[in-house]
Structure 1
Amino acid sequence: MTTARDQALAIWQAGVDAVGGYAATRAALDDLPCPDRILAVGKAAASMARAALDHFGPLPCLVITKDGHGAELTASVQLIEAAHPVPDARSLMAGRALLQAVGAMTEGSHLLLLVSGGASSLAEDLVTGKTLDDLAALNRAMLAEGLDITAMNACRRQISRIKGGGLLAGFKGQRADVLAISDVPGDDMMVIGSGIGALPDAYGFAASTRIVASNSVARAAACDHARALGLNVLGDAETLHDDLAALVPRIGARLRAMPRGVLVLGGEPTVVLPPNPGRGGRNQALALALAREIAGDPGLVVVVGGTDGTDGPTDAAGAIVTGQTWGKGAAEALTAADSGTWLERVGALLVTGPTGTNVMDLLVALRT
C-alpha cells in the first residue's frame, strides 16, 4: 500500500529527476557545434559531461566534481575530485587544470564549458598573495555566518583568478558555449559557481550561455507529479531564501494551517552555526525545526532535501519528518547544529546518493 510518506517522497524525487544533469544537458546540445574540448565543473559535472560525450562522441574532456560524484565516468575522461563545501589542495590543482586547458586552446577552436553548483569550492586559482589557508578560512567563516549564496560568491570572486569571468578571459579560440545548471536565485551566471562560466567584460570570440535546469523546473515537475497522483497543489514558490530563525515560524504556521493537498517550496535557507557544530546541514536543520512546528499533527509529511543529494558536509540529502518525529533530545540537537545525528537515530534521514544535478533545495509538504 502506498503511504503518504511514499507519495511525498515520490513528488520530491520527481522534481529532482526533472532537472537531472544528463537529460537537461542532452536536450540543449542539438543546436550547438561539436566542440574541440569539453570542460565540466560542479556537483553535476559528471552527468553533464556524459551527456555531451554521448552526443558528440569521444573528445578531450576534463571533469572537476565533488568526491564520489565521478564514478560513472570512463577512464578516458580526466577526472579531478575535490572537497566541498570547504576547498582543499585538490581545488587549487583543479583550478590550475582549468586555466591550462582553456589557455591551451588554439585559434579557431571551440570550447564547451559545463557548469553547475559547487564549482566555487571545487576549483580555484587564487590571486597573488592568497593561500589555500586563506581560502578555506574564508569559506568556513561564510558558512558559519550563514551568508546567502549571492553574498558568499561575491566574496569568493574577489580573491579568484578564474571566477567572475576570469576563466574565459584566457580563451583565444573562436567559440565558447556555456551550459549551466543553476543553484542560485535569479539564475545569474555571475553567481553560479561564483561566475566561473561567466563571460569576461571584453572578449573576442563567439559565445553563448544558457541555463539548462533550475529550481523552478524542479518545482513545476514536482507539482505535475502531485497532480498526477490526484492531489491538490496548494502552492509553488521559491521562498526558502532566508535564515532559519526567520523562515521556520513562517513555514510552520503555513503547514499547520494547510488543508489537504501538497505544498512545494524551493530555495536555499541559511544557518548561523555555533562554535564546534555537530553533524548535519541546512536541510536537516530545517526539517528538524519544522518537526517541532508540526509536532502532534497526525496528517502531515514534510520532505526537505538538497537536490544534489548532499546536505552540507554529510552523505544525507535532508530528512523526512512528520508530526511524530519530534522527541526527547531533538531541541538540544537543533541548538548544537547536530540535527543529522538525531535524525539518523530516529530513521528520518533522506539519503539518495549523488543525483547528478544541483538546483538548490526542495521542500514538499503533504497533508492527507
Structure 2
Amino acid sequence: MNDQHPPSPAPVRGLTTTGWTDGRARAVLRRILDAAIHSAMPDRVLARYLPPPPKGKCVVVGAGKAAASMAAALEQAWPDVALSGCVVTRDGHGTGTRRIRVMEASHPMPDSRSVDAGRAMLAAVAGLGPDDLVIALISGGGSALLECPRAGLTLGDIRTLNHALLHSGASIREMNVVRRHLSAIKGGGLAAAAAPARVVTLAISDVPGDDPLTIASGPTVADPTTAAEALSILHHYDMTVPDAVETVLMQPPTDRMLSPRNRYTLVSTPLMALQAAAATARDCGLTPLVLGDALEGESRDAGTFMAGIALSARLHGLPVGAPAVLLSGGETTVTINPAGPPPGRGGRNTEFLLSMALTVQGNEGIWAIAADSDGIDGTEDAAGAIITPTTLTRARALGCDPRACLRAHDSYSLFRTTGDLVMTGPTLTNVNDIRAVLVL
C-alpha cells in the first residue's frame, strides 16, 4: 500500500484553519479531554446520590480504579457517620482516607492481593442485620482487583484465564460473563453475602451500555447469564484455559439470593463525560457532535472509520460542518495474534490514533486526541496521545515507520518518539475512553 500523501483536496467553501495554530489545536483538545475527566471525579458527583444514614452499622466496600477516591468523597460527605470497611484499587490509584481502609492490587492481572481484598470484603459484610447498610463503591477495573475463586480453582487458574481473555479479542462484556461464573464474589456474590443488610451500590461506569453486570463483573448484581454461555465464549474464541476452569463451569450453579431493598445507581457514565466535553467544545467556538458512548471493535478499524467521518466533515460538511469536534467513547480492542511475534508497546487509544493518522494522511484540517480517562492506556504510563497534520511526517523524519509500528502494535513507541503522548498520571476516576477529533 502506498504510504505517500495523496494530492491535497480541492478547497471547500467555509472551511479554514485561519487562526488555528498547532499549539491552539492541541490546547483545545486537551481542554476538552480534561473537562470530560473532571466531570467524572467522585468528589463532584457522589454526594448527591447517597441514601440517608442507617439506623445500624454502615459498612463500605468497593473495587475499581476510582474506588479510593469514591471512598474519600464518601467520608467527606458523611463526616459524622461511623463508617467501616475497605475498598481495593489499582496500584498507584490510592488516596488518603481516615475511616475506610484502602487496599491496592494488580491490574489487569489479579494477584494474591486481589484475593486478599475479596476475602476482606466478604468478611466485612458477614453477620450484618436488616438495619445495617452496605455502601458498595464500584468502578471499572474491579474485575481484576477483587477476586475470590470458586472452590476447585486457584489464583493461578484465574490468572491464566485472564491472560487468555485479554488477548482473545473478546469484548469486555464477554470477558466478564466468564469471570463472573468462576468467582464467589462477582455476579452478586458480595451482595448475597451481605444479606439481610441493605446494599446500596454507587457506580461509575466504564463499559459500553453502562451494564451493571459488566462494571467490575457486577459483585452486587444478580447474574442472569449461565455457565453454558461462559463456556460458549471460551470455545468461540478458541481459548486455551486450565482444565479446572471448564470443570467448574460444568458444575451446578450456586443460588445467590439478593434483597429486593438493594439499590444500584450510576453516579457517572461515559455519556455524562462526553456531554461535559461537548459543553467545553461549544465554549471554544466549536460545534460538537457526539457519535456515541459505546463504540467497540478493533482499535485500528475504529481509527479508519473515524478518519472517514472526519474527512467527510472537512470536505463536505457532513455529518457536521467545520469548525467542529467529533466526540466518542467506549472501549475498542487490540487483538494480539498468539502465533505472531511479540507485540510492541501500545494501548487501544494509541493504536486507534495511529490507524487514524494513516488514513487521513496529513490532512491539514484534522487533529485528534484519544485517551483512557483513568490515565493509563492499556499497561503503559500514558493516557493516550494526540495526532496532528504533521504526525506521519515527523515520525518518518525521526526514523519511525508508521505502518510497521501499527502492524507490530507498537504505537506507544511512535508517539513517544514524536513527543505526542498524553501523560496525566492516575486520574482516580474511570469512564472509559474519551476521543475528540477536531475538524477545521
TM bracket, shorter-chain basis: over 0.9
Per the alignment, residue 287 of structure 1 pairs with 353
CA distance in 1, matches of 2:333, 2:67: 24
1:256 to 296, 306, 311: 311
1:348 to 399, 420, 440: 420
Letter aligned with residue 335 of structure 2: V
More moved, 6-15 vs 227-236: 227-236
Q: Output one character per residue of 1:316-336: Cα deviation in whole Å (capped at 9) or x when no partner.
A: 111111121123322222212
Is the aligned partner of 1:142 residue 2:162? no
Residues 107 and 173 in structure 1, CA contact (< 8 A), matched pair in contact too: yes
**What's the TM-score once normalised by structure 2's chain length?**
0.79
Residues 83 and 99 in structure 2, CA contact (< 8 A), matched pair in contact too: no
Q: Output one character per residue of 1:80-126: Cα deviation in whole Å (capped at 9) or x when no partner.
A: 11111111111111111111111143453111111000000001000
Per the alignment, residue 408 of structure 2 pairs with 336
**Do the aligned partners of residues 239 and 41 (structure 1) sit closer, same or farther apart at CA in structure 2, a change above 3 Å counting?**
closer
Residues 173 and 205 in structure 1, CA contact (< 8 A), matched pair in contact too: no
CA distance in 2, matches of 1:315, 1:136: 22
Residues 309 and 351 in structure 1, CA contact (< 8 A), matched pair in contact too: yes
1:233 to 267, 288, 308: 288
Letter aligned with residue 26 of structure 1: A
1:312 to 370, 378, 386: 378
Task: Give the secondary-structure state (helix, strand or coil) at the position aligned to 2:49.
Answer: coil
Is the aligned partner of 1:28 residue 2:49? yes
Per the alignment, residue 66 of structure 1 pairs with 90
Residues 223 and 236 in structure 1, CA contact (< 8 A), matched pair in contact too: no
Per the alignment, residue 206 of structure 1 pairs with 261
Per the alignment, residue 268 of structure 1 pairs with 331
CA distance in 1, matches of 2:177, 2:165: 11
Identical aligned pairs, as a percentage?
A: 37
User: Larger Rg: 1 or 2?
Assistant: 2
Is the aligned partner of 1:164 residue 2:187? yes
CA distance in 1, matches of 2:332, 2:197: 40
Per the alignment, residue 3 of structure 1 pairs with 24
Per the alignment, residue 127 of structure 1 pairs with 150
2:436 to 354, 364, 367: 364
CA distance in 2, matches of 1:211, 1:300: 34
The alpha carbon displacement at 1:239 in A equals 5.1
Is the aligned partner of 1:193 residue 2:259? no
The alpha carbon displacement at 1:236 in A equals 3.5
CA distance in 2, matches of 1:239, 1:80: 30
The alpha carbon displacement at 1:163 in A equals 0.6
2:204 to 175, 181, 191: 181
Is the aligned partner of 1:216 residue 2:271? yes
Is the aligned partner of 1:278 residue 2:344? yes
The alpha carbon displacement at 1:199 in A equals 4.5
The alpha carbon displacement at 1:235 in A equals 3.9
**Do the aligned partners of residues 98 and 239 (structure 1) sit closer, same or farther apart at CA in structure 2, a change above 3 Å counting?**
closer
More moved, 327-336 vs 196-205: 196-205
CA distance in 1, matches of 2:216, 2:118: 12
CA distance in 2, matches of 1:245, 1:204: 44
Letter aligned with residue 288 of structure 1: L
Letter aligned with residue 278 of structure 2: C
- CA-based RMSD of the aligned residues comes to 1.9
The alpha carbon displacement at 1:244 in A equals 2.5
Q: Which runs of 5+ in 2 are unaligned?
A: 1-20, 224-255, 315-321
Q: Which runs of 5+ in 1 are unaligned?
A: none
Letter aligned with residue 40 of structure 1: G
Residues 46 and 74 in structure 2, CA contact (< 8 A), matched pair in contact too: yes
Task: Give the secondary-structure state (helix, strand or coil) at the position aligned to 1:87.
Answer: coil
More moved, 155-164 vs 73-82: 73-82
The alpha carbon displacement at 1:249 in A equals 2.4
